[in-house]
Amino acid sequence: MRAFRTKAHGTGLLTTVLAFAGVVVAVMQTLMVPLLADLPSLLRTNRSDATWAITITLLTAAVGTPVLGRLGDMCGKRRMLLLSLSLMIVGSVVCGLSSALLPMMAGRGLQGFAIGAIPLGISIMRDELPPERLGAAVGLMSSSLGVGGALALPAAALVAEHFDWHMLFFGAAALGGLSLLLVLLVVPESPVRAPGRFDIPGTIGLSAGLVCLLLGISKGGDWGWGGGRTLGFFGAAAGVLLVWGWFELRIAEPLVDLRTTARPQVLLTNVASILVGFALYATQLVPPQLLQLSSTTGYGLGQSMLMAGLCVAPSGLLMMLVSPVGARIIARRGPKTSLLSGVLVLGAGYAAGLMLLEAPWQLAVFSAIAGAGVGLAYASLPALIIDAVPDTETAAANGLNALMRSIGTSSSSAVVGTVLAHMTTSFGAVSVPSLAGFRTAFVIGCAACVAAAAVTAFIPGRRGRAMRTPAVPEKATTVAR
């Protein structure tokens, strides 16, 4: 189906449709959160095996995001966006029909490919939007993952508490279908193409290396960080990725252009993305747990799942509100300034959060501050990438950047999860995370922000050239619309 978009629609409709696709992806990720505690009983398995329903999404997202980005540059970004949404819909239906671990893993694995919709949407914006609209649109698209996640959490909690939990997945499938239809009707296919062949050996190597790395990170807490399996996966990841990098540097058409990736602006932005992703996780993990913990512990706030979701919703609202602010900062001062502002606001939020743990409204304030910081930071990351790479590599480069954020989030999940598992207090017959454990998680998040600010300071200071002037294709081909 050819996209139908006239001048009367304007660029606002294109931005809205792409941002909605990002929100739908966030809903897909968030809908599992209310089920985490009950997942073993729902899937009739033990707690360790139940975590595979989460881990498999991480693995397929890590593999699929850079691959879909490269295929988008070569074969069409809209086409790959439609593919990622289609896989999410199929995966959601499979999960909705499942009550056992293996089919749930299959469905969640398919859902993981939807994460590639975010960098693909950003790349479409670069190709289609005028320079004066690009900054705000990219900021909104980049923050849509956080916006959708924060806003969807109360809705997911409401459904999980009062309806059959399978309805969560059927709802995600319906939203995915709507997003797919809107993309078909509104989003045009970009005429820009990167010439060459798809790097199959590079894809296999990167996939193997990432799977080993993320398995070690995500399962290290269960297997033991010093255990043979964990160290074996980390060692395998290091070996495979080194060989993969050696191979990628010696072929003419690599999956990831490591020479472009090694440019200071791209390299340091990706390092900062890992740290921002790391810092983000505690804002999502600590408040819901503390809010739902029984008040008889002395520090738990005893809120329902729905109220906990409403208390963290301000983070999504603030992300949405600050994305145009980030765009103005990028236009006037450059994306580096926006990124630095974001990590400093997030770090200040963590510092304030150490004293904002005593009432639901206080955690809502913390979530709002954290959301503002993440919104500013996430608006700037794709701008820094777009500014440093040719337009024929936009989707692949943004896909790699999204992968870096995911690695940061996964690493934070492992670290913060370990802290909360070991810093506990006895409550009846069970142990629960202690108040000191929650505060330690905030201190770790604050330290990640300080590290991100230090890295950001060394990013070459450019003023968002690609956000203000039309991109000039480098070795690009065009196709008829």
Give the CATH number, domain containing residue 77: 1.20.1250.20
Q: Model confidence over 144-200: pLDDT tens digits? A: 776 777 777 777 778 877 788 889 899 999 999 999 999 999 988 877 777 778 888
187 and 247 inside one domain: no
- Looking at 254, 270, 294, which one is the last position of a domain? 254
Mean pLDDT score, 377-401: 81
**208, 223, 254 — which closes off a domain?**
254
In the chain, the number of structural domains is 2
Residue type, 212: C
**Are residues 223 and 328 both part of a single domain?**
no
193, β-bridge pairs: 477
Give residue 462's pLDDT band: very low, low, confident or very high (50, 70, 90): low
Q: Are residues 298 and 435 in the same domain?
A: yes
Q: Mean pLDDT for the chain?
A: 83
User: Is 273 in contact with 467 (CB distance < 8 Å)?
Assistant: no
Q: What's the pLDDT at 17?
A: 92
User: Is residue 260 domain-shared with residue 247, that is, in the same domain?
Assistant: no
Are 238 and 151 in a shared domain? no
- Return the higher-pLDDT residue of 479 and 13: 13
pLDDT score of 10: 60
The neighbour count for residue 72, using CB atoms within 10 Å, is 29
Q: Is residue 284 part of a domain?
A: yes
pTM of the model: 0.81
Check if the beta carbon of residue 327 is closer than 8 Å to that of residue 379: yes
Mean pLDDT for the stretch of residues 30-59: 79
Closest Cα to residue 345, out of 377, 313, 311, 379?
A: 377
Let me know if residue 348 belongs to a domain. yes
* Same domain, residue pair 248 and 116: no
Q: Which of 101-115, 124-138, 260-274 has the lowest mean pLDDT?
A: 124-138
Instruction: Mark whether 370 and 292 lie in a shared domain.
Output: yes
pLDDT at 335 over 70: yes
Q: Which residues pair with 325 in a beta bridge?
A: none
Q: Is pLDDT at 324 greater than 90 in this prediction?
A: no
Comparing 99-113, 260-274, 309-323, 357-371, the range with the smallest average pLDDT is 309-323
Q: The domain containing residue 372 runs over which residues?
A: 10-198+255-469
- Contact indicator for 68, 86 with CB cutoff of 8 Å: no
Do 244 and 291 lie in one domain? The reply is no
The predicted structure's pLDDT at residue 473: 39
Query: Which of 384, 38, 411, 29 lies closest to 225, judged by CA?
Result: 411
Per-state percent for the chain, helix, strand, coil, to nearest 5: 80, 0, 20
Does residue 476 sit within a domain?
no
Whether the predicted pLDDT of 34 surpasses 80? no
Span 397-419, average pLDDT: 81
Quick one: 304 and 322 in the same domain?
Answer: yes
| Per-residue pLDDT, 317 | 79
| 453 located within any domain | yes
Q: CA 288, 291, 292 angle in degrees (round to 5)?
A: 85
What CA–CA distance (Å, rounded) separates 195 from 52?
A: 38
Specify if 1 maps to a domain.
no
- Assess whether 453 and 377 both reside in one domain: yes
Same domain, 241 and 301: no
Looking at the domain assignment, is residue 405 inside a domain?
yes
pLDDT at 133 over 90: no
Per DSSP, 225 falls in state T
User: What ranges in 334-472 are assigned the alpha helix state H?
Assistant: 335-353, 360-388, 394-422, 435-457, 465-468
Concatenated DSSP letters of 266-332: HHHHHHHHHHHHHHHHHHHHHHHHHHHS-GGGSS-----HHHHHHHHHHHHHHHHHHHHHHHHHHHH
| In-domain check, residue 481 | no
Q: Find tokens 């005593």 and name the residue.
A: 358
Residue 3 lies in a domain: no
194 and 215, same structural domain? no
pLDDT higher than threshold 50 for residue 332: yes
In this structure, what are the phi and psi dihedrals at residue 433, rounded to the nearest 5 degrees?
-55, 140
- Give the best-scoring range by mean pLDDT among 52-61, 108-117, 255-264, 324-333: 108-117
Residues in Cβ contact with 79 at an 8 Å cutoff, skipping those fewer than 6 apart: 72, 189
